[in-house]
Structure 1
Amino acid sequence: MAAAPTHVDGTVRRAMWRLLPLLGLCYLLNYVDRVNVGFAATTMNPDLGLSATAYGLGAGLFFIGYFFFEVPSNIILHRVGARIWIARIMITWGIVASATAFVTGPIGFYIVRFVLGFAEAGFFPGIILFLTYWFPRATRAKVVALFFLAVPLSSVFGAPISTLLIQNGNGALGFDHGWRFMFFVEGIPTVLLGIALLFLLPDRPTKARWLGRADAEALEAVIAAEDERQVPHTVGIRQALTDGRVLAMSVVYFGIVFGLYVLAFFLPTVIEGFGKQFGTKLSLVQTGLVTAIPYAVASVVMVLWSRHSDATGERRWHVAIPAFVGAAAIAVALLFNSPYLVMAAVTITACGVFAAIPVIWQIPPKFLTGVGAAAGIALINSFGNLSGFAGPYLAGWLKDLTGAFQAGMLAVAAFMVLSGVVVLALGKAVREADPTRIS
């Protein structure tokens, strides 16, 4: 794949430095507010009377609310602009995230998780769409990887912070449990940053005050020319939503994200179980620090793998290989008789998940553009993120059924293998129909 045209390289670099730290911070807060329930679970579940199945159901209900509003949200963003709509999303989800502090039982937990998903719907696909307005195709996997660094970093930094707030929050601000204090505090920065976006986030290059007019217009012209070459015909909403390639990519994303959310919601509990299984003694904060290890390693692997995908222009195998390797690792992870070997296998799986995700998002723009891209990307993300419901619920149910996490980890492996197989089959089918479409 050819590199971005040299006459816009400087503009692209400037946009990366201006936008990615801001967007990455938004996503870091987003992911903390989404998965901090995993750190709360060890003390919240007994307080609220939640079984593993009930907790998995509540954790996953987030994605049901998310699913129903995802496509409309992204279409609205395409029409009104990212500045207003991403700010709206962040303000509302921050308020709901803080409100989790006040739940008193299973029903309240279910309701607040569903509403949190509804409030947040459209954030991630909105940012993916937004990045296509700013960056040429030859840089996008790296750009998405740098943005997606917020996810592993949210565990590297969020895990110790969340566990510290839980451990020291009992009685703070009048809350009777540390997990309530943690939820309340961690939602506030999201609201504040959402307000700041109204002043800091330009919708397109020509709206950015920090870019010269000529540079901004040149960058938009390069991106428009790429879109015209890649997808020369207009793609509408209905066409995008019924495109078989969009549905296939939904399956691919579902399988990878299945692994992501099972790790996010249950890894702290698995590590806590090392005490019974291996005799290790870890405090709540130490559990948070150990949980961060796979994410720290995966963040490095993800950026390097995405850079390689951009450099070669190859996408299918850059999704399939991490999926297969990650599946093999998680399938055997809990069979080891050493906590170090278990964590090594889990780390390999995390690397597979995170390496695949940024590259996955480089495939839909090869056959979608405009409002069709807004709808198609949102549909892929919404169906894919249903695994955020299915994964925790299935893993929790299997844990209650078998008394161990092994069955749930085998389910992760199966779905990751499915992702790898489908993305390879999709590439072959599209290449036979039109060899210019998917590498």
Structure 2
Amino acid sequence: MTADTLAIERPYTESFEDAIYRKVNWRIVPLFIACFLFAYLDRVNISFAKLQMQTDLGFSDTVYGLGASLFFVGYFLFEVPSNMLLHKIGARVWIARIMVTWGITSACMMFVQNEFWFYSLRFLIGVMEAGFVPGVLYFFTQWYPSNRRARVNSYFKSSICLCGIVGGPIAGLILGHFNGALGMEGWRWLFLLEGIPSILLGGLVFWLVSDRIEDAPWLDAEEKQVMRERMAKETKPAGTQRFADIWKHPTTYVMSGIYLCLVMALTGVLFWMPQLIKTAGVADTLDIGLLTVIPYVIAVIGNLLVGASSDRHGERRWHMAGCSVLTAAGYLVCALYPGQLVPLMIGMSMILTGIIAWMPIFWTIPPRFLNGLAAAAGIALINSLGQLGGIIAPFMVGRIKDLTGTATPALYVLGAVTLVATGLIIWGIPARYYVRETVHD
């Protein structure tokens, strides 16, 4: 009898498995949280730069909204090819490449002088970042069993909250205190100083990440065996391993529709939150940055609680639907009380809590009907089609604000979009994909 056979037959306790996954969590999750944090900083720092660059460059709200949206055009076009390459090349090399190139492109935003370069660089940032989020989510499916994914996804998606918690004050500080340093406006410093960390983190990913459990030098042989055995017990979808298979599932399109609504709701608040606070009478950029922290702090707490509850009960549908309704209610509050700071803060807290808690649960569903290359491509396809919402929402809000002088009608539209998502969550996804995850004994 070989050593490998003995390892397979050796019993192990649930506490031992928990200890292994705690070790894995500490090795993998903080790094990807940091990566996602700077991905989001580089994606949404345009919302803070707008407070200065719009006046400096003479951009209208429509121009700003279109530039914010063009990020998602590049993201949409290159998402699926990027994740298929990740599946072939490996997460370590490909995610490192993504981070270095998006960091460089984001820093180049400091050179923008006119609408053409504003549009071009926003598009290129989307191209360079394409594949990062679905790539990490696919990477998690290779390391974590299904009953642990909502929690680890919630840790990862909490980076959006961390971006708001640290990004707002940092952006406000840079805009206020670096403005004029070395003859450069504060918004140019913002793009430069927030692009450099992404480049450095790309090097850390290349150095620290292992593509497969078997390749991890920081796990001993027994730990690797336990993880391989646990992953082998997962129920694998049958006949869904090729790229062509992702087009055969109606659920792929339903999930894409839900995610499009989710991204519209998210980008609608992300790209316009500083401006909404400013219209409530807050003028100082640092104060605006500090106020944006409040909704994110509330959201990160709600995210972790909802993700843990969903895993503990093995329930996905009503947790997601509840988050969606909370988001819609938040948009209603913001629309009913425009220009009033306290209701706006309450409404934005409801919106972000609902969205951020919704995302990790959402991404537990695709691996229930996709496997292998189809999982990598399918997750990317759903994410890519969903990102069309990021093209629609920022431009829509900017256009409506230019035409009417207020963003309130757009807030009602985004609330209605979120209610559409609620209906798709409840009735559009087959019940078998909501059934509590089980493993083979």
Please confirm whether the aligned pair reaches a TM-score higher than 0.5, indicating the same fold. Answer: yes
- Displacement, 1:232? 3.3
**1:367 aligned partner:** 369
1:248 equivalent in alignment to 2:254: yes
* Aligned-pair CA distance for 1:328: 1.9
Q: Which residue of 1 aligns with 2:333?
A: 332
| Structure 1: gaps spanning 5 or more residues | 276-280
Deviates more, 1:197-206 or 1:79-88: 197-206
What is the 5 A alignment of 1:190-339? 190-226=198-234, 229-275=235-281, 281-336=282-337, 338-339=340-341
Shift in Å at residue 22 of structure 1? 0.6
* Superposed counterparts of 1:330-409, under 5 Å: 330-336=331-337, 338-409=340-411
Give the match for residue 278 of structure 1.
none
Kindly indicate whether the alpha-carbon contact (under 8 Å) linking 1:365 and 1:373 is maintained by their aligned counterparts in 2. Answer: yes
Matched residue, 2:123: 114
Residue 414 (structure 1) aligns with: 416
Distance (Å, rounded) in 2 between the aligned partners of 1:435 and 1:362: 10
Between the aligned partners of 2:30 and 2:163, the Cα distance in structure 1 is 14
Letter in 2 for 1:165: I
Report the counterpart of residue 37 of structure 1 in structure 2. 46
Deviation string, structure 1 residues 340-363 (Cα, Å, up to 9, x no partner): 122112211111111111100011
Q: Which amino acid aligns with 1:235?
A: Q
Match for 2:50: what amino acid?
A
Rounded to whole Å, the distance in 2 between the matches of 1:324 and 1:142 is: 21
Partner residue in 1 for 2:170: 161
2:315 and 2:436 in contact (8 A); partners too: no
CA deviation after TM superposition for structure 1 residue 316, in Å: 1.2
Q: 2:190 aligns with which of 166, 182, 187?
A: 182
Partner of 1:109, secondary structure, is helix
User: Matches of 1:67 and 1:399 in 2, distance apart?
Assistant: 25
Amino acid at match of 1:251: G
Q: How many residues align?
A: 425
CA deviations 1:35-63 (Å, max 9, x no partner) are 00000001111112211111000011000
314-323 or 83-92, which deviates more: 314-323
**Shift of residue 221, structure 1, vs aligned partner:** 2.9
Going from structure 1 to structure 2, the CA distance change for 1:164 and 1:365 (only over 3 Å counts) comes to same
Note the alpha carbon deviations across 1:403-424, whole angstroms, 9 max, x for none.
1111111121111111111111
Match of 2:257, as an amino acid?
V
AA in 2 matched with 1:347: S
Cα separation, 2, equivalents of 1:89 and 1:422? 32
Contact 2:335 2:409 (8 Å CA) reproduced: no
Closer, same or farther in 2 for the Cα pair 1:175/1:223, shift >3 Å? farther
Instruction: Give the C-alpha shift of residue 6 in structure 1.
Output: 5.1
Structure 1 residues 436 and 326: CA distance shift in structure 2, 3 A: closer
Moved more, 141-150 or 330-339: 330-339
Q: Work out the CA distance in 2 between the residues paired with 1:305 and 1:230.
A: 26
- How many Å apart are 1:243 and its aligned residue? 2.0
Letter in 2 for 1:157: V
- Does the 8 A contact of 2:315 with 2:434 survive in 1? no
8 Å CA contact 1:205, 1:217 repeated in 2: no
Q: For residue 172 of structure 2, give the secondary structure of its aligned residue in structure 1.
A: helix
* 1:152, distance to aligned residue in structure 2 (A): 0.8
Aligned residues of 1:169 and 1:175 also touching (Cα < 8 A) = no
Structure 1: distance between partners of 2:308 and 2:435? 21
The verdict on how the C-alpha distance between 1:11 and 1:104 changes in structure 2, with shifts beyond 3 A counting, is same
Code of the residue aligned with 1:293 in structure 2: it is: I
* Contact 2:317–2:434, Cα closer than 8 Å, also in 1: no
Counterpart contact for 2:241–2:371, Cα < 8 Å: yes
Cα shift readout 1:388-407 (whole Å, capped 9, x = no counterpart) = 11110011111112111111
Structure 1 counterpart SS, 2:143: coil
Q: Give the secondary structure class of the aligned counterpart of 1:232.
A: coil
Q: Please say if residues 136 and 223 of structure 1, whose CA atoms lie closer than 8 Å, have aligned partners that are also in contact.
A: yes
Kindly indicate whether the alpha-carbon contact (under 8 Å) linking 2:157 and 2:360 is maintained by their aligned counterparts in 1. Answer: yes
Distance of 1:399 and 1:387 partners within structure 2: 18
Q: What is residue 73 of structure 2 aligned with on the other side? A: 64
TM-superposed CA distance for 1:369, in Å, is: 1.1
User: Is the 1:49–1:106 contact (alpha carbons within 8 Å) kept by the matching residues of 2?
Assistant: no
Output one character per residue of 1:72-92: Cα deviation in whole Å (capped at 9) or x when no partner.
110111111110000000000
Identity of aligned residues (%): 39
Q: Could you tell me how far 1:118 is from its partner in structure 2?
A: 0.2
SS in 2 for 1:404: coil
CA contact (8 A) 2:327 2:352 kept: yes
Q: Is the 8 A contact 1:141 1:362 kept in 2?
A: yes
Q: CA deviation at 1:329?
A: 2.2
| Counterpart residue type for residue 317 of structure 1 | W
Structure 1 residue 242: Cα displacement:
4.0
Distance, in Å, in 2 between the alignment partners of 1:38 and 1:103 is 15
Deviation at 1:170, TM superposition (A): 2.4
Q: Shift of the alpha carbon at 1:175?
A: 4.6
Unaligned runs of 5+ in 2: 1-12
Q: Is the 8 A contact 2:240 2:246 kept in 1?
A: no
Output the amino acid matched with 2:287.
Q
Contact 2:109 2:188 in 1 (8 A): yes
Q: Deviations over 1:233-270 (max 9, x none)?
A: 34211111342111110111111121111111001000
Query: Contact 1:83–1:203 (CA<8 Å) still a contact in 2?
Result: yes
Report if aligned partners of 1:162, 1:182 keep a CA contact under 8 Å in 2: yes
Q: Identify the match of residue 90 of structure 1 among 99, 106, 127.
A: 99
